[in-house]
Amino acid sequence: MAKKNAVAEVASTSSRARKATSDYGAGSIQVLEGLEAVRKRPGMYIGSTDERGLHHLVYEVVDNSVDEAMAGHATRIVVTIHPDNSIEVSDDGRGVPVGKHSTGKDALEVVHTVLHAGGKFGGGGYKVSGGLHGVGVSVVNALSIKLRVESARDGYVWSQEYSRGVPTTKVVKVSPSGSRRGTTTRFLPDPEMFETTEYSFETLANRLRESAYLNKGLWLTLIDKRADREATFYFQGGIVSFVRHLNRKRKVTHDRPVYIEGVEGTTSVEVALQYQSDSWSETLLAYANNINTVDGGTHVTGFRAALTSALNDWGRKNGAMKESDPNLTGEDVREGLTAIISVKLVDPQFEGQTKAKLGTAAVKGIVQTLVNKRLTQFLEENPADGREVIRQSLNAARGREAARKAKELVMRKGALEGSALPGKLADCQERDPAKSELYIVEGESAGGSAKQGRDRRFQAIFPLRGKLLNVEKARIDKILGSDNIRTLITALGAGIQDASMEDGNGKFDLAKIRYHRIIIMTDADVDGAHIRTLLLTFFYRYMPAVIEAGFLYIAQPPLYRISTGKETKYAGNEKDRDLAIASFKTKNVSVQRFKGLGEMNAEQLWETAMNPENRVFSQARIEDAAVANEVFEMLMGERVEPRRDFIKAEARKVQNLDV
């Protein structure tokens, strides 16, 4: 088996290092002018050059229009996908300023060709905005084959065109604007910069829907001229409607979401929350100036502190909690909670360039004081709802105590940590996690072939025995009681991410993960798909950091082996199978369909699914936390009705059903 090139050599020899040092001098320093830096390193500005980066271009332009809405100058935004996959974003705001700038260029050109140029730095143009770095539209311009902007203001329509960030025309007065006002930007992404230039209607629709929820009274329309479809989003209820949307397929504890709104100085706060009675999971989405702060921050800290103290104080005062009951913890009161937190403030401080965590210290106290006061008021006015929430929280506390005891038992047995690895794990020789892979396979048969076919230098094999526990329907004590899950946690080495485990042993630590490629490799049939979904549910609920870090993959082994005796090809679907058959010049073609990985011998499994030079992986990603959460609850949760409705709606789309 040819595996010589399977492991990439990372370390350089000392002679190469000395040569590299000698070659590095003053002449090695490059100065990138204008927008060259963006085209040189696009990932630094938009995150990636895959589908995520492509759609990020749209978000940058739309966010500018949303900032106009937050400033009170725009009420409508229209996004159009044209047949050539160019994007047009139009708003009815003030229009981009025109006229001579201090740089000597027109202000319209400066905004579109200079990084860190915009009206959001001095506070005069915008008091509150999401895009504070002034790089958005200029980055879009740099990464587009062509971009045309029209600004309707001061009685006229002004226009300029660009190609890859360079102006191709001057700023010109096109026509009188009449009643028209605002900015229209149309751009065509550069295929040299992106892996794909095909836009997803659903991805854009989800983002616009979210913006409409966060900015009540704002109209957002998405038009797809490729398929003649359209969607308009408008929510007068704002984040209350958002919470109702998230809980629309769940059984709720109280029909009316709690809505909290207030202003302290220049900071405005909106909170909407509602409890579910049929789910143990927490859904909390936090935003600062419409930016999704996925890692939380001071606004989340303030909210959680207020929630815990308000429920404990009210529960004790009104007899909903007995004297013998312990105080509810934050984990207890957040079980089954769906909440949206949205703050808008001047000059927000974020931790890191990704704006994933709000760091403005004053926001914590503002949110905490407001939520504590208004939530207590809600409980006083709705005591029956308050008692039901307290009852759920007390049940959560009892479950947490049971989980703690289960955890202690597991820890005493040394099942989650220590040097001893589970016997079913066939580990690799490599000890550097960045170079190590773990294949999670279905059953002993596939595990045997995988163990024989792997490159043991860097590939480890973990065979599952039987069906994995559905963690969406189980508490942590039952989860830790599952042999498959417990041994998998041990094999990975990083612990488990759960509120009841945050006190010490077992706390999840990504730095301790033993493999930076964790590959789910199951059969290409219904059972395999089920096991794959169960594994994805486990990682999403209890090791989300693994997905966020880009460590989780799904193997796509072939379904067909097409052979003439002398030549062999593999195909993952019927179309590729037929193309492979047609490529052979003989009619004497043998076609084998693999029902499972166990039907492959070691050599076949290596060549098709494990050889880094040939294999095909899909990387598991969380594009939208709210959508992902909803999907997992629907497919794997307690309620049957949403799952049945989904099956009815999607049944006609199923192909190659293995029955």
Residue 400 pLDDT level (bands cut at 50, 70, 90): confident
Q: What's the pLDDT score for residue 31?
A: 39
Spell out a b/e string for 376-402, using b for 16 or more CB atoms within 10 Å of the CB, else e.
Answer: bebbeeeeebbbbbbebbbebbebbee
CB atoms under 10 Å from CB of 41, counted, come to: 10
Mean pLDDT of 375-388: 95
Chain mean pLDDT for the chain: 83
Using the predicted structure, report yes or no on whether residue 35 has a pLDDT greater than 60.
yes
Residue 117 pLDDT level (bands cut at 50, 70, 90): low
Q: What's the pLDDT score for residue 354?
A: 57
Looking at 159-163, 179-183, 256-260, 574-578, which range is the least confident one? 574-578
Mean pLDDT of 277-303: 89
Which are the contacts of 339, defined by CB distance < 8 A and separation ≥ 6?
243, 271, 272, 273, 274, 283, 284, 285, 303
Asked if residue 562 lies in contact with residue 587, where contact means CB atoms within 8 angstroms, the answer is no
Looking at 49-53, 130-134, 392-396, 549-553, which range is the least confident one? 130-134
Using the predicted structure, report yes or no on whether residue 652 has a pLDDT greater than 80.
no
Query: What single letter denotes the amino acid at residue 14?
Result: S
Dihedral angle over CA of 319, 321, 325, 331, nearest 10: -160
User: Strand locations in 301-436, DSSP E?
Assistant: 337-344
Distances (CA, A) of 79 to 54, 198, 228, 231, 259: 15, 15, 14, 10, 30
Using the predicted structure, report yes or no on whether residue 492 has a pLDDT greater than 70.
yes
Using the predicted structure, report yes or no on whether residue 16 has a pLDDT greater than 60.
no
Mean pLDDT of 299-319: 96
What sign does the dihedral 644-648-654-656 (CA atoms) show?
positive
644 DSSP 8-state letter: H
Q: What's the pLDDT score for residue 255?
A: 92
Which has the higher per-residue pLDDT, 309 or 356? 309
Mean pLDDT of 556-575: 84
Residue 260 burial (C-beta neighbours within 10 Å; 0-12, 13-18, 19+): buried
Which are the contacts of 369, defined by CB distance < 8 A and separation ≥ 6?
264, 306
Which strand ranges, in their side-by-side order, compose the sheet holding 459-464? 459-464, 437-442, 517-521, 552-555, 617-619
Mean pLDDT of 153-176: 94
Q: What's the pLDDT score for residue 618?
A: 85
Which has the higher per-residue pLDDT, 10 or 341? 341
Residue 527 burial (C-beta neighbours within 10 Å; 0-12, 13-18, 19+): middle
Residue 629 pLDDT level (bands cut at 50, 70, 90): low
Length of the chain: 659
Using the predicted structure, report yes or no on whether residue 343 has a pLDDT greater than 80.
yes
Asked if residue 415 lies in contact with residue 496, where contact means CB atoms within 8 angstroms, the answer is no
Phi, then psi, of 530 in degrees rounded to 5: -65, -45
Looking at 70-74, 545-549, 651-655, which range is the least confident one? 651-655
Both tokens of residue 432?
């550097």
Using the predicted structure, report yes or no on whether residue 595 has a pLDDT greater than 90.
no
Using the predicted structure, report yes or no on whether residue 366 has a pLDDT greater than 90.
yes
Q: What span, in angstroms and rounded, lies between the C-alpha atoms of 332 and 328?
A: 6
Q: What's the pLDDT score for residue 221?
A: 98
Mean pLDDT of 295-316: 95
Mean pLDDT of 415-423: 59
Q: What's the pLDDT score for residue 396?
A: 85
Residue 99 burial (C-beta neighbours within 10 Å; 0-12, 13-18, 19+): exposed
Residue 624 pLDDT level (bands cut at 50, 70, 90): low
Name the residue among 109, 117, 221, 120 with its Cα closest to residue 172.
109
Residue numbers annotated as active site: 442, 523, 525, 527
Q: What's the pLDDT score for residue 503?
A: 41
User: Rounded to two decimals, what is the model's pTM?
Assistant: 0.69
What sign does the dihedral 559-436-535-537 (CA atoms) show?
negative
Q: What's the pLDDT score for residue 504?
A: 39
The structure tokens 């207030």 sit at 262
Which has the higher per-residue pLDDT, 643 or 371? 371
Q: What span, in angstroms and rounded, lies between the C-alpha atoms of 548 and 571?
A: 30
Mean pLDDT of 4-17: 38
Looking at 101-110, 209-218, 592-601, 625-634, which range is the least confident one? 625-634
